[in-house]
Structure 1
Amino acid sequence: MASVERLYTLYNAIDDAKDKAGEHEAEFLEILSGFIARFFRHFPNLQEQALNCLFDLCEDEDVAIRKQAIKDLPTLCKGRTELVPKVADILAQLQQVEDQVELSTVHNSLVTLLKTDAKGALTGLFYQIQHSEDELVRERCIRFVHAKLRSLGTAVFTPQVETLILGEAKKVLQAASSEDEFSLMMGILRDLKTCQSVKGYQQLVDLVTEQVDLTRPLDPADLESVQRLISCVKQALPYFSSQVRSTVYVEYLWKEVLPVLDQIETTLSEGGSQGTPILDVLKIVAELIPHAGNLEDVPGKVLVIFFKLLEVMPLPPEGDAATEALEGGVSLEFSRVECLLFTFHQLARQQPEFLNDDPDRLKDFRIRLQYFARVSQAYQKRLREALANKTGEELKTEENKIKLIALRTTANINVLIKDLFHQPPSYKANISLSWKPTTSGGKAVTKCPNKSQKVERQIYAPPRDKYSQRAGQYSGGGNFRGRGRGRGRGFGYIPGRGSSYRGGFRGRRGGFRGY
């Protein structure tokens, strides 16, 4: 830091330059740093005015001055940790800048504050996350906290600090204004060590449950509500297990969603939208059902899924149409069949008499299963031929990735069908759903199975005109409008947020929030 003598030297250099004073920018920046930062602690009665002066410099038209002022802000907090929340609040707002170098300077200063007083810095950041009208500021604050949670580790993010984050994050989630914001906050919670246990997983599921509001009936004509449900439940999926049950979600889906799938699809078609949300719902059901525990009215649930399955597993055509089907002239809903067949297989093992005690039902079902298996095997053959002799790099193209998922989908379907063709039907087969990543030693694996290899058991999407370019992926979820920030649960974009201009600071000029 500059001494008093050095400051006078700098002053004289600029003063002596007269009309050419503007050429001494470096000296001017050193003066700014020296005067405010060096003597700040000696004048406690004037600290608010000094802060405002430095905050003004953070908005100066000259980027070099702004950057220097931003660098100096953390210096003011050395030995004065009570100032950290205020300074972090201002730095958080400065994340609206477009220049990446300047943004990096802001982040570096925030890191310094985290190391000085993590609780104070997070208090300022979370204040902006909860109250800023600028969507970009909120998003960057969340991303910053998430990134530093991983990079700075337990040295900064102690158990006490994690407790603060957990409490503040819960407040943010209750008023999340978009799907992205909700997902980002869940990402922060997922990385907290306090949440990486059975008890922590249950906490995360409970947070999602509050957002979903399972006491509220679903309106099939309100696609935003459907998308919100899908988005929220996806956030909970990784945490269900034999110890964290998905029972309440399964009960809700059977009561409120599955009975109105046709109405949702009608609403989609009338609005000119594709039916991706329907497939998303079926995927969610398939992932939830293995962890459902004790369910109410299992026979009724089996019946619902069975009839849904019959809708996408037709009886075989006759004559030339049957031959055409095997040659690829028929479009079948492979993705939906995988989801529904897996769900039926999981539920029917609790109710084996559903097929065993009704010979006519079993006969009709097996005719459909046999036909679907033949078409599926023919389709598998074409997929193998298309993927044969492909290099590792070629298999990474989007088109070939979809074909690989298709191969896993059809393989899964055939495994389940084979199980159901036992006498009596068996429910012992286990598969890995096709849209879930295949891993080996923690790394994703991409294979092209051939006839001599056992196929990795998993699932896909349909061929020909029903061939989904989004196979294996959940849909992004559209726009979430509705009950905005601070007005209850649910996502809702707030008009006017995210503007690119420098909007100034809220609460400046002595009107700081009381931290």
Structure 2
Amino acid sequence: MSEHQSEEFQQIEKLYDFSERLNASKDKSQNVEDYEGIIKMSKTSMKAKQLASQLIPRYFKFFPTLSTDAFDAHIDCIDDGELGVRVQAIRGLPLFCKDSPDIISKIVDVLVQLLNTEEPVERDAVHKALMSLIRQDPKASLTALFTHAGVTPTTDDQIREKVLNFIRDKVFPIKAELLKPQEEMERHITDLIKQSLEDVTGGEFKMFMDFLTSLSIFGGKAAQERMQELVEIIEGQADLNAQFDVSDTDHIDRFISCLPLALPFYARGAPTSRFLNYLNNHIIPVFDKLPEERKLDLLKALADISPYTTAQEARQMLPSIVQLLKKYMPAKKTAEEMNFTYVECLLYAFHHL
């Protein structure tokens, strides 16, 4: 046995001694020296670090005065150059929270930063640790996780993308298991999602909306107010409070992509007024100035929403529709070529209003 192996063996022996005394002790808080010894051993050889990474969280709750030293030592193991040490330390993170739920947010923050790892084994350990925390305390863990799903001035886009992928691939598919009590937790995750929608991409927004519509609180028996809530989320994404700028193609695209998402909720009784008012007051008056490739999409959107209008909304919209029909369905004697697709959309809307 080499000198290094002999030293490592002695370190492991010491760690087992510390652990055995702690296990046997009826008042573990008195075994301060043993816990200090474990912390000290976490800074030695690779195998000692791996074992210490199991023992530090196991006895963490008994030594509040050493909590900072213990946690810092564990984080040092997570930052270690050896993959085996890092993985073992990551696996130990959820154990800190079993008896100290107040630090769940802190542990989630640590794990989120580790999602960026390129090592598959390490990434798998991070995923499992996060899922372990979410199962321990879904409300606190998801709250902490979703703080990294939104866009802030300090957001790391790469980390945020990893968080969103984790939520999509690991959390959403097992919502029935995690969201208990169901109504309370579905309400909670809905609120978390609503807080995370600032500056999301179209794909991210659709992912969140697909998930929300899968929740029982927005299911087939949901009240009309629930449908209205979903429509308001979509209206927020469409930015209906903004002044319309005909050159802002991003805003036009968001309007066009958001409207179809709202149609199922209009069919279930949610009011269409805000989308229609915006279309009627801001977009149709400058229709001629819109990019050609957006005009048809907007007319299709108008046709899609027209069956769900109220009588009052229809009266407000009809003059605008008639004006567009006059423009795109000229009198027979003119030489202008009729745009049949535009006219088809406008006639469809006209007959449904």
Which TM-score band (shorter chain)? 0.7 to 0.9
Q: Deviations over 1:170-209 (max 9, x none)?
A: 2222x22543443333344333322333432221111222
**Closer, same or farther in 2 for the Cα pair 1:144/1:37, shift >3 Å?**
same
Distance 1:32 1:121 in 2: 25
Which letter does structure 1 place at the counterpart of 2:218? Answer: C
Deviation at 1:235, TM superposition (A): 3.6
1:288 paired to 2:314: no
What is aligned with 1:96? 116
Query: Counterparts of 1:485-500 in structure 2 under 5 Å?
Result: none
Query: Contact 1:195–1:203 at 8 Å: present in 2 too?
Result: no
**Closer, same or farther in 2 for the Cα pair 1:102/1:210, shift >3 Å?**
same
Query: Contact 1:92–1:125 at 8 Å: present in 2 too?
Result: yes
Deviation at 1:260, TM superposition (A): 2.0
Query: Contact 1:176–1:182 at 8 Å: present in 2 too?
Result: no
Query: Counterparts of 1:461-500 in structure 2 under 5 Å?
Result: none
Find the residue that maps to 1:60 and give its secondary structure.
coil
Match of 2:155 among 130, 133, 142: 133
Distance 1:316 1:99 in 2: 69
What is aligned with 2:190? 166
Which letter does structure 1 place at the counterpart of 2:286? Answer: V
Gaps of 5+ in 1: 13-23, 266-274, 318-330, 351-515
Q: Deviations over 1:477-511 (max 9, x none)?
A: xxxxxxxxxxxxxxxxxxxxxxxxxxxxxxxxxxx
Query: Contact 1:139–1:181 at 8 Å: present in 2 too?
Result: no
Match of 1:252 among 278, 285, 293: 278
What is aligned with 1:33? 53
**Closer, same or farther in 2 for the Cα pair 1:42/1:143, shift >3 Å?**
same
Deviation at 1:44, TM superposition (A): 1.7
Match of 1:57 among 73, 77, 81: 77
Runs of 4+ in 1 over 6 A off after TM superposition: 9-12, 313-317, 331-334
Query: Counterparts of 1:390-409 in structure 2 under 5 Å?
Result: none
1:193 paired to 2:216: yes
What is aligned with 2:290? 264
Query: Contact 1:87–1:124 at 8 Å: present in 2 too?
Result: no
Q: Deviations over 1:415-455 (max 9, x none)?
A: xxxxxxxxxxxxxxxxxxxxxxxxxxxxxxxxxxxxxxxxx
**Closer, same or farther in 2 for the Cα pair 1:144/1:78, shift >3 Å?**
same
Query: Counterparts of 1:68-467 in structure 2 under 5 Å?
Result: 68-130=88-150, 131=152, 133-158=155-180, 159-173=183-197, 175-196=198-219, 197=222, 198-265=224-291, 275-294=292-311, 295=313, 296-307=315-326, 309-310=328-329, 336-337=341-342, 340-348=343-351, 350=353
Higher relative contact order (CA 8 A, sep 6+): 1
> TM-score by structure 1 length?
0.53
Deviation at 1:227, TM superposition (A): 2.5
Query: Contact 2:231–2:265 at 8 Å: present in 1 too?
Result: yes
Q: Deviations over 1:270-321 (max 9, x none)?
A: xxxxx5433332232222111122213354133034235427x99899xxxx
Distance 1:315 1:7 in 2: 98
Deviation at 1:113, TM superposition (A): 0.6
Find the residue that maps to 2:59 and give its secondary structure.
helix
Query: Contact 2:329–2:338 at 8 Å: present in 1 too?
Result: no
Deviation at 1:54, TM superposition (A): 2.0
- For these two proteins, the number of residue pairs brought into alignment is 307
Query: Contact 2:299–2:345 at 8 Å: present in 1 too?
Result: no
Gaps of 5+ in 2: 1-9, 18-44
Find the residue that maps to 1:341 and give its secondary structure.
helix
Distance 2:76 2:306 in 1: 57
Query: Contact 1:142–1:184 at 8 Å: present in 2 too?
Result: no
Distance 2:249 2:64 in 1: 57
Deviation at 1:234, TM superposition (A): 4.1
> What percentage of residue pairs aligned between the two structures are identical?
26
Query: Contact 1:85–1:120 at 8 Å: present in 2 too?
Result: yes
Find the residue that maps to 2:148 and give its secondary structure.
helix
What is aligned with 1:449? none
Distance 2:344 2:332 in 1: 14
Query: Contact 1:246–1:289 at 8 Å: present in 2 too?
Result: no
Distance 1:29 1:219 in 2: 60
Which letter does structure 1 place at the counterpart of 2:234? Answer: V
**Closer, same or farther in 2 for the Cα pair 1:55/1:309, shift >3 Å?**
farther
